């Protein structure tokens, strides 16, 4: 698996930015938290002093006291207004800066949200019809903006990779667009951020940002058909795949399996995770997932598959070989 | 006969009490319970029912917190969890927060304005029954696995016919209708009561702030509730009779739902919050020994908030593909709403600053509410920013934000109000010691539960997830939040124990145990069924303080039937007298027919003709004119010189 | 005073009434169920004439006949497995026979439909044995019966989020199955 020189698997967090947009938003967060803390501290201090102090004047409604309080309240309101206007100015400036990607030629990827997995298509305008179709793992080049054209097939989802950028909804009947850009190589986890049903909690994805050259290598390999099974066990596994229920929903390029219901599995062996980034892609996990997906993601649309042990092993060998 | 000249009430009239009580009190027993139109009974019911829903929603929250305390926990599966969080949100927003404030308002407003009852007592009663039916409907559904599971906000297409099979969402959509009808009835009742039934001399600039907030909220309800009723109507129609409001393939739009829902949803939170501010403004005078500072500023802030609240709703939709310029407008409005909110807080602090604080439980809860609300308000300004919101939208940061503003702006003031007005409602005081335990446990619990959620949201934890993976690292903070939930639970237990203790052994409170200044404290605790023996006459904003305890009154209302005084809108000059219909079963019956109408509609369109026929029959009986003793509205003789009514 | 007793008893009473009104089975979501295949003893007979006394084939229940979630899943599968390609998106039929009418060539009993899907049928119905799990096939059986309105109104599917060519299942009239036999090789017209 040709991946990265220095893989950094980052905990998903907006406080650890690795992308252009997330970085700017993180800077703005500093302004927000500092200002809020100062204002809150002043308000609390005033409140506590008000509670603790001994009242000096006998008549709180005396005109002098009234005028003084009015002035203070007025000044506080004016200060609040100034802070809010400053905030608005900085916010609008940030918003407009983030609206358009940086100058470099963007990569375009289509994102289609399904219950409960992500479909990514890389349209290749040079070769119409020769698109990469993959699922749940989005490869992008470092330092280049990636424009995501997004829609959903069923319900509203939301694409969110906090280390890289803010989120954008995927709405059936609409085509939404956003862009992300990674500043450094790494593996960044994202998660669906709009409640989409039973397995919204486990609709995650990985964004794998690689240097440009490695990204091109990946894209070239990804565009190809699936690798032929290496040995007889894998060949038997391919038979299990094609004659059983797998091919009804899943597609593997270069074989007769052309199902479009579930994720495309052409290069499944290279994926780091399965089940929308719910489990690492290991033999054991994969076996458990194939036999009883409802235990991992109850409610998902993948049915259980009762396979004989040797059939299962052959199938696993085949799938592992789809690099 | 009719004496319009105000006089100080020094003549004891024991017979008057007996006669008025005979006319105004509810009938005894179960039938009395079904027929009463006494605003105090209805209001107590609203509050008690809403509190039961609060407890149920709290149990749902506790279960959710137990499930989320550890990664990949197995207490609730995804389907059950989805029902739990939907029920928690739905119960808190529709069945607790708004009805409890309606109840508090319905109890206090007639007392605060010196009236014997609200303007439309039968409609008031009917509103409660409609609310109860809605609440029982959805909980009945919940207990048989038909609880809604698409979120309290029920976004389409998930909640639409294609992706939410069965009747779960249909039950939810009709429940909305019930609670909206109840809220609209209460709004109409309150507006009319506040405009037309105030004590003579209580011009609009002397009206208590609690009454102002009730008025503004009533108008907000009238403009906001129809939006959600429309949305739920469209959803119910899409699901039952295959309309295409939200079907993009046939020209509908999923975003239409969001606009309709949030046009209601944002004012909804101010509908909950403004009465909370009214409560604080009401009780601060008693606990700082001075009238609240900045009455005109407070009133204008409440009105301004009411208006601005309708211009914020798109901030719930910042992740959708709406044009940037439009979003910027809502950013600006969402940030600027902090100005009137801030004015209120500054005025309160000024009141405390120049007053002499008396540290009883109501004041403690008030202080807690200001602290918690300010924190929530700060995060609110943060999320008004579209770029920042694009990161934290639909994460636990938002959960933290709205729990802070709701706990700070609704729940803490509500508890402050409970402790403050409990002696008025029941005649007994709540225990101060238990009250302090209640406050501190709740304050610590709330902060323990919700403060870590800010961090969780920024660390990438989305909302509405039934579990999360071990590798995300969210386990520790979730555990802390779940421990906080236990603390909150214990504080509510302390409160319930306090209530039970007070009802049996609480110290008897007099008419005015706190030495407060507004009109409700000028009558007995609990008030008689007729509220005031004679109509009080008001000369300022703090009638009890200004009159030195002996309130000037106006006599002349009928003693043999339920009669109320109507006054003019601006200056509250006496205008006419009006006979109220008395206690009757028909509001209950009409409410039941409304229930039949909407519940049958969940399953079949036949609900409409059946319900209409039944409802028509019941309503005809409801409004059937009764024999009257004399014309119900009598113009007072114009010879009453206005100068005699003190200004 | 606050009459907790009366209020809670009224609450409970009304809740119990609503239990009667709303169904339990309708809303079940059974994720890890592995229902058995159809019982083969209810093979259909292809003639109305029987020697001796008439034997009425007993109708069988299928596990999802009152379950709205399963019927909805069946619709999803109907589209995803391209049943719509031959039988029409609303069951109106095209190169395959319509499913929304009252003519059932191979029987309308749930086990008959199960067998039809699993075994395939002459003139173009593929055999799904081994391709779909039993659970999925029962969901399809439920949906096929829904297409002619054979379920209770409150569990039927409502419209999908697609272009509406015909009336949705919820508002169709029930098409009570009548037995009919078309010899293989005849073209069925919708």
Q: What is the ipTM of this complex?
A: 0.94
CA dist., res. B313 & res. B227, Å (int): 12
Instruction: Nearest by CB to A13, from B291, B332, B459: name it.
Output: B459
pLDDT score at B549: 67
B45 or C89: which carries more pLDDT confidence? B45
Query: A304 vs C32: CB contact, 8 Å cut-off?
Result: yes
* Ranges under pLDDT 50 in chain A: 1-7
Question: Is A294 an 8 Å CB contact of chain C?
Answer: yes
Instruction: Nearest by CB to B342, from A12, A80, A200: name it.
Output: A80
Closest CA to B90 of B43, B139, B129, B159: B139
CA dist., res. B497 & res. A20, Å (int): 55
**Residue B448 pLDDT greater than 90, yes or no:** yes
Helix/strand/coil for A134: strand
**Residue B563 pLDDT greater than 50, yes or no:** yes
Question: Is A296 an 8 Å CB contact of chain B?
Answer: no
Q: What is the pLDDT of residues B484-527, one digit of tens each?
A: 999 999 999 999 999 999 999 999 998 999 999 999 999 998 99
Q: What is the pLDDT of residues B351-367, one digit of tens each?
A: 999 999 999 999 999 99
Closest CA to B274 of B102, B447, B93, B57: B102
Q: Pick the residue from chain A with its C-alpha nearest to C80.
A: A261
Spell out which residues of chain B touch residue C169, defining contact as CB-CB under 8 Å. Answer: none
The residues, ordered by sequence, that sit 6+ positions from B325 with a Cβ below 8 Å of its Cβ are none
| pLDDT category of residue B567 using cuts at 50, 70 and 90 | very high
pLDDT score at B556: 84
pLDDT score at B10: 43
pLDDT score at C106: 87
Instruction: Nearest by CB to B394, from A49, A87, A193: name it.
Output: A193
Helix/strand/coil for A207: strand
| pLDDT category of residue B645 using cuts at 50, 70 and 90 | very low
Spell out which residues of chain C touch residue A261, defining contact as CB-CB under 8 Å. Answer: 80
**Residue B441 pLDDT greater than 50, yes or no:** yes
Q: Are A23 and A17 in contact (CB under 8 A)?
A: yes
**Residue B4 pLDDT greater than 80, yes or no:** no
Q: Pick the residue from chain A with its C-alpha nearest to C69.
A: A299
pLDDT score at B596: 95
Query: C27 vs B144: CB contact, 8 Å cut-off?
Result: yes
**Residue B647 pLDDT greater than 90, yes or no:** no
Query: C76 vs A249: CB contact, 8 Å cut-off?
Result: no
Main-chain dihedrals φ then ψ at residue B41, nearest 5 degrees: -65, -45
Q: What Å distances lie between residue B276 and B105, B161, B179, C190, CA to CA?
A: 11, 38, 20, 65
pLDDT-above-70 percentage for chain B: 95
Query: C31 vs A294: CB contact, 8 Å cut-off?
Result: yes
Q: What is the mean pLDDT of residues B597-619?
A: 93
To test the contact with chain A by mutation, choose from B255, B319, B358, B377 the residue with the greatest count of A C-beta atoms within 10 A, namely B319
* Ranges under pLDDT 70 in chain C: 1-23, 38-50, 53-60, 179-190
| Closest Cα in chain C, distance from residue A301 (Å) | 9
**Residue B326: CB atoms within 10 Å:** 11
CA dist., res. B405 & res. B460, Å (int): 22
Query: A47 vs B371: CB contact, 8 Å cut-off?
Result: yes
Q: What is the mean pLDDT of residues B526-538?
A: 92
Per residue, the 3-state secondary structure of chain A, as one string, reads CCCCCCCCEECCCCCCCCEHHHHHHHHHHHHHHHHHHHHHHHHHHHHHHHHHCCCCCCCCCCHHHHHHHHHHHHHHHHHHHHHHHHHHHHHHHHHHHHHCCCCCCCEEEEEEEECCEEEEEECCCCCCCCCEEEECEEEEECCCCEEEEEEECCCCEEECCCCCCCCEEECCCCCEEEEECECCCEEEEEECCCCCCCCHHHCEEEEEEECHHHHHHHHHHHHCCCCCCCCHHHHHHHHHHHHCCHHHHCECCCCCCECCCCCCCCCHHHCCEECCCCEECCHHHHHHHHHCHHHHCCCCCCCCCCCCHHHHHHHHHHHHCCC
Q: What is the mean pLDDT of residues B416-434?
A: 96
Q: What Å distances lie between residue B572 and B197, B565, B635, CA to CA?
A: 8, 10, 15
Spell out which residues of chain A touch residue B280, defining contact as CB-CB under 8 Å. Answer: none
CA dist., res. C102 & res. C147, Å (int): 10
All partners of chain C with 3 or more CB pairs under 8 angstroms:
A, B
**Residue B233 pLDDT greater than 70, yes or no:** yes
pLDDT score at C171: 84
Spell out which residues of chain B touch residue C74, defining contact as CB-CB under 8 Å. Answer: none
Report which secondary-structure segment, H or E, holds B259: helix B254-288
Query: C133 vs A299: CB contact, 8 Å cut-off?
Result: no
Q: Pick the residue from chain B with its C-alpha nearest to A52.
A: B357
Per residue, the 3-state secondary structure of B197-214, as one string, reads CCCCCCCHHHCCHHHHHH
């Amino acid at each position: 698996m040709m991946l990265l020189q220095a893989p950094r698997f980052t905990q998903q967090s907006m406080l650890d930015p690795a992308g252009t947009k997330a970085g700017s938003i993180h800077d703005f967060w500093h302004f927000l938290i500092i200002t809020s803390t100062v204002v809150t501290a002043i308000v609390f201090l005033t409140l506590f002093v008000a509670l603790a102090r001994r009242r000096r004047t006998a008549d709180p409604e005396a005109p002098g006291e009234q005028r003084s309080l009015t002035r203070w309240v007025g000044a506080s309101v004016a200060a609040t207004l100034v802070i809010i206007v400053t905030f608005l100015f900085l916010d609008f400036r940030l918003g407009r800066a983030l609206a358009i990607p940086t100058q470099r030629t963007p990569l375009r990827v289509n994102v289609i949200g399904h219950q409960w997995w992500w479909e990514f298509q890389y349209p290749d305008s040079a070769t119409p019809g020769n698109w990469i179709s993959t699922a749940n793992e989005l490869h992008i080049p470092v330092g280049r903006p990636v424009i995501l054209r997004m829609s959903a097939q069923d319900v509203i989802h939301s694409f969110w990779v906090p280390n890289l950028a803010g989120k954008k909804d995927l709405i059936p009947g609409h085509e939404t667009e956003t862009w992300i850009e990674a500043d450094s190589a790494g593996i960044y986890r994202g998660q669906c951020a709009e409640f989409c049903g039973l397995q919204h909690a486990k609709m995650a994805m990985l964004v794998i940002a690689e240097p440009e050259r490695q990204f091109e290598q990946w894209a070239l390999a990804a565009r190809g058909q699936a690798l032929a099974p290496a040995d007889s066990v894998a060949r038997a596994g391919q038979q299990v795949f094609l004659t059983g229920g797998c091919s009804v929903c899943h597609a593997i390029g270069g074989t007769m399996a052309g199902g479009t219901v579930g994720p495309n599995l052409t290069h499944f062996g290279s994926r780091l995770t399965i089940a929308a980034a719910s489990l690492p892609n290991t033999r054991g996990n994969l076996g458990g997932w194939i036999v009883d997906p409802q235990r991992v993601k109850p409610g998902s649309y993948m049915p259980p598959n009762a396979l004989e042990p040797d059939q299962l092993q052959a199938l696993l060998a085949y799938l592992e070989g789809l690099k | 006969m009719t004496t319009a000249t105000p006089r100080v009430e020094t003549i004891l009239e024991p017979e008057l009490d007996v006669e008025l009580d005979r006319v105004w009190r509810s009938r005894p027993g179960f039938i009395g319970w079904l027929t009463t139109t006494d605003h105090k009974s209805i209001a107590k019911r609203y509050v008690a029912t809403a509190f039961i829903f609060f407890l149920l929603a709290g149990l749902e929250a506790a279960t959710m917190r137990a499930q989320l305390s550890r990664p990949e926990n197995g207490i609730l599966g995804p389907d059950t969890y989805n029902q739990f969080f939907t029920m928690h949100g739905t119960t808190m927003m529709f069945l607790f927060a708004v009805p409890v404030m309606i109840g508090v308002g319905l109890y206090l407003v007639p007392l605060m304005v010196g009236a014997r009852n609200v303007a439309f007592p039968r409609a008031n009663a009917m509103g409660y029954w409609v609310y109860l039916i809605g609440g029982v409907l959805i909980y009945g559904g919940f207990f048989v696995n038909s609880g809604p599971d698409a979120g309290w906000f029920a976004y389409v297409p998930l909640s639409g016919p294609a992706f939410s099979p069965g009747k779960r969402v249909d039950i939810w959509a009709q429940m909305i209708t019930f609670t909206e009808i109840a809220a609209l009835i209460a709004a109409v009742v309150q507006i009319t009561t506040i405009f037309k039934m105030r004590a003579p001399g209580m011009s609009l600039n002397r009206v208590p702030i609690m009454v102002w907030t009730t008025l503004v909220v009533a108008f907000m309800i009238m403009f906001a509730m129809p939006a959600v009723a429309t949305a739920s109507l469209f959803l119910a129609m899409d699901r039952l009779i295959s309309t295409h409001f939200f079907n993009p393939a046939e020209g509908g739009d999923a975003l239409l739902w969001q606009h309709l829902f949030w046009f209601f949803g944002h004012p909804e939170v101010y509908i909950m919050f403004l009465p909370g501010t009214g409560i604080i403004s009401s009780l601060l005078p008693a606990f700082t020994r001075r009238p609240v500072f900045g009455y005109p500023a407070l009133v204008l802030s409440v009105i301004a908030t009411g208006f601005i609240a309708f211009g914020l709703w798109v901030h719930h939709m910042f992740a959708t593909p709406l044009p940037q310029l439009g979003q910027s407008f809502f950013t600006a409005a969402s940030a600027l709403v902090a100005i009137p909110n801030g004015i209120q807080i500054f005025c309160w602090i000024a009141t405390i600053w120049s007053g002499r604080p008396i540290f009883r439980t109501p004041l403690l809860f008030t202080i807690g509410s200001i602290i918690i609300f300010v924190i929530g308000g700060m995060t609110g300004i943060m999320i008004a920013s579209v770029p920042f919101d694009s990161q934290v939208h639909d994460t636990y940061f938002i959960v933290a934000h709205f729990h802070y503003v709701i706990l700070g702006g609704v729940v803490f003031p509500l508890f402050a109000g409970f402790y403050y007005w409990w002696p008025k409602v029941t005649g007994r005081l709540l225990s101060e010691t238990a009250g302090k335990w209640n406050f501190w446990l709740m304050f610590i619990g709330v902060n323990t539960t919700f403060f870590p959620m800010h961090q969780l949201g920024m660390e990438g934890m989305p909302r509405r997830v039934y579990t999360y993976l071990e590798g995300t690292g969210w386990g520790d903070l979730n555990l802390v939040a779940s421990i906080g939930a236990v603390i909150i639970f214990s504080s509510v237990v302390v409160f319930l124990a306090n209530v039970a203790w007070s009802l049996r052994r609480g110290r008897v409170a007099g008419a005015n145990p706190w030495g407060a200044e507004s009109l409700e404290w000028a009558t007995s605790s609990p008030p008689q069924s007729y509220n005031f023996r004679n109509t009080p006459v008001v000369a300022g904003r703090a009638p009890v303080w200004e009159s030195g305890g002996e309130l000037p009154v106006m006599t002349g209302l009928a003693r043999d039937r339920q009669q109320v005084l109507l006054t003019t809108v601006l200056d509250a000059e006496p205008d006419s007298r009006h006979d109220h219909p008395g206690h009757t079963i028909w509001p209950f019956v009409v409410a039941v027919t409304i229930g039949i109408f909407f519940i049958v509609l969940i399953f079949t369109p036949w609900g409409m003709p059946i319900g209409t026929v039944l409802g028509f029959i019941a309503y005809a009986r409801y409004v059937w004119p009764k024999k009257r003793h004399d014309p119900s509205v009598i113009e007072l003789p114009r010879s009453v010189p206005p100068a005699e009514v003190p200004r | 005073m606050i009459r907790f007793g009366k209020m809670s008893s009224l609450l409970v009473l009304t809740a119990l009434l609503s239990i009667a009104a709303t169904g339990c089975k309708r809303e079940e979501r059974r994720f890890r169920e592995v229902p058995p295949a159809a019982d083969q003893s209810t093979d259909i007979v292809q003639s109305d004439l029987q020697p001796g006394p008439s034997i009425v084939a007993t109708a069988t229940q299928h596990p999802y006949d009152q379950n709205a979630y399963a019927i909805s899943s069946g619709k999803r599968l109907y589209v995803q497995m391209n049943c719509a390609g031959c039988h029409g998106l609303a069951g109106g039929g095209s190169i395959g026979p319509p499913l929304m009418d009252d003519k059932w060539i191979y029987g309308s009993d749930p086990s008959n439909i199960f067998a039809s899907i699993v075994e395939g049928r002459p003139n173009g119905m593929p055999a799904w044995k081994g391709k779909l799990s039993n659970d999925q096939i029962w969901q399809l059986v439920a949906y096929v019966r829904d297409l002619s309105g054979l379920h209770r109104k409150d569990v039927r599917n409502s419209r999908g989020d697609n272009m509406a060519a015909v009336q949705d299942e919820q508002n169709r009239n029930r098409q009570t199955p009548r037995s009919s036999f078309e010899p293989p090789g005849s073209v069925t017209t919708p």
